[in-house]
Amino acid sequence: MQPLAERLRPKTLDEYIGQQHLVGHNAILRRMIDSGRISSFILWGPPGVGKTTLAQIIANKLDTPFYTLSAVTSGVKDVREVIEKAKSNRFFSQNSPILFIDEIHRFSKSQQDSLLGAVEKGIVTLIGATTENPSFEVIRPLLSRCQLYVLKSLEKEDLLALLQRAITTDFLLKERNIQVKESDAMLRYSGGDARKLLNILDLVVSSESGNDIIITDDMVTERLQQNPLAYDKDGEMHYDIISAFIKSIRGSDPDGAIYWLARMVEGGEDPAFIARRLVIAAAEDIGLANPNALLLANACFDTIMKIGWPEGRIPLAETTIYLATSPKSNSAYTAINDAIALVKETGNLPVPLHLRNAPTKLMKQLGYGDNYKYAHSYSGNFVQQQFLPDEIKDQTIWTPQQNAAEQKHLERMQQLWGDKYKNNDKKD
């Protein structure tokens, strides 16, 4: 028998729950679908928010051939075979056949290249689905030929509406007297994932023998503890585990970090996903306290791209332990956030004249570049001058933290700038 999530898969936009910014009244995707013609696009969002369902609804609405490929199991040959089928069907439909590619971020460059011609010529209309940022995972020529639509985790009201629909319309559940007395546990464990929510409901209901079922938070928690594989793909709570992994690194606990890494490896996590998070952690959490961390994380990412699994677990482990045991600083992360806040607060302040570029004679006559001091013309390759706009010329943004590397930077800044950095030393 089909799982509950499959039995309840919406067939029309009116049945579709959530994503009103895309499919609500007068929203962009709704207008495109109602017009009867769509262009290629990519849906980016977390698991269980309706990416595959939306693609199927569109195909049904437009009455056009619908092909689907999984980037996990399909190769270049499969892509070409589908494109050939699409060519033969093209003459029998006003709209181009739709090619839906799930987890398109897992397609290699050569696989994505094989799609370009068909998308460009309109042989197929591509709908891609991804949980990863397409800017990093989809080649630029393909991305430029697709619109990008961002799907959001379902809100509490959406999930409650889905629960109500399940217990009142599903042909099996409506035969039983189900009352949702408490829903917090189901909502918490589902994490905005509709599929996971329905799996939890299915698990709880199937574990009860009688027809009268009252669902409480304690009941849900108990059932999930007894059946940890039933409510999450491969038993891994994807976002919770990556969160624990990063927090273990930030907290300088190599044992915790390597444990959560092992959980991801065993759970079949995409190695590129892990490597990318290590690069972010190296910049955000280790930062200037140990700049070599970012170099190692980048090297790890490159290595993963070359060797893949299973050997990729070794550079991931090396980098994880190195980052966890490194001194920590988020001063660069804090500095850019503070600088952005300052820009938003003060607006587009004018660049001081001596810092402006002067490519024309008129600009030189207007004083552009006047009195600029070329640092390399001075002793020590440094001379004091103003680099911030007049309105904030005395502002300090970067605050060094208490670690050996940044203290050296601070000492140099104090030698060069004197009082400007005299009290700019973060105390523990």
Tell me the CATH number at 251: 1.20.272.10
Q: Are residues 301 and 251 in the same domain?
A: yes
Q: Are residues 144 and 161 in the same domain?
A: no
Q: Taking residues 58-82, what's their average pLDDT?
A: 82
Q: Quick check: is 123 in a domain? A: yes
Q: What is the dihedral of CA 134, 137, 138, 139, to 10 degrees?
A: 130
Instruction: Say whether both 33 and 138 belong to one domain.
Output: yes
* Same structural domain, 27 and 145: yes
Domain membership flag for residue 2? no
Other Cβ atoms less than 10 A from the Cβ of 389: the count is 15
Q: Are 221 and 185 in contact (CB under 8 A)?
A: yes
Of 200, 234, 268, which residue sits at a domain end? 234
Q: Are residues 269 and 301 in the same domain?
A: yes
d(CA 268, CA 259) in angstroms, rounded, equals 15
Determine the Cα angle at 195 with ends 189 and 200, to 5°. Answer: 45
Please tell me the distance from the alpha carbon of residue 5 to that of residue 163, in angstroms, as a whole number: 11
From first CA to last CA, the distance across the chain in angstroms is: 60
Instruction: Specify the pLDDT at position 233.
Output: 46
Banded pLDDT at 237 (limits 50, 70, 90):
low
Whether the link from the prior residue into 352 is cis, omega within 30° of 0, is no
Q: Same domain, yes or no, for 297 and 359?
A: no
On whether both 145 and 186 belong to a single domain, the answer is no
Number of domains in the chain: 4
> 423 or 26: which carries more pLDDT confidence?
26
Which of 326, 416, 342 has the alpha carbon at shortest distance from 378? 416
Is 294 in contact with 279 (CB distance < 8 Å)?
yes
Domain span holding position 226: 156-234
Better pLDDT: 402 or 94: 402
Separation of alpha carbons 249 and 256, rounded Å: 8
Taking the C-alpha atoms of residue 116 and residue 142, their distance in angstroms, rounded to an integer, is 6
Domain boundary among 88, 118, 150: 150
Q: Considering 174, 207, 234, which residue would you say is the last residue of a domain?
A: 234
Looking at residue 294, what is its pLDDT?
95
Mean pLDDT, rounded, for 88-101: 73
Is there a single domain that holds both residue 317 and residue 370? no
CATH number of the domain within which 173 lies: 1.10.8
Phi, psi (rounded to 5 degrees) for 101: -115, 110
Q: Quickly count: other Cβ atoms within 10 Å of residue 246's Cβ.
A: 19
* The predicted structure's pLDDT at residue 277: 92
Look at residue 121 and tell me if it is in a domain: yes
Same domain, 30 and 90: yes
Is 221 domain-assigned?
yes
Q: Are residues 216 and 247 in the same domain?
A: no
The verdict on 119 and 163 lying in the same domain is: no
pLDDT band at 318 (very low <50, low <70, confident <90, very high): very high
Cβ contacts of 323 within 8 Å, gap of 6 or more: 249, 257, 278, 281, 282, 285, 286, 293, 296, 297
Q: Give a yes or no: residue 11 inside a domain.
A: no
Indicate whether 5 pLDDT > 60.
yes
Predicted TM-score of the model (pTM): 0.55
User: Does residue 61 lie in a domain region?
Assistant: yes
Q: State the pLDDT at residue 234.
A: 43
What is the enclosing helix (H) or strand (E) of 149?
Answer: strand 147-150
Say if 93 falls within a structural domain: yes
225 and 242 together in one domain: no
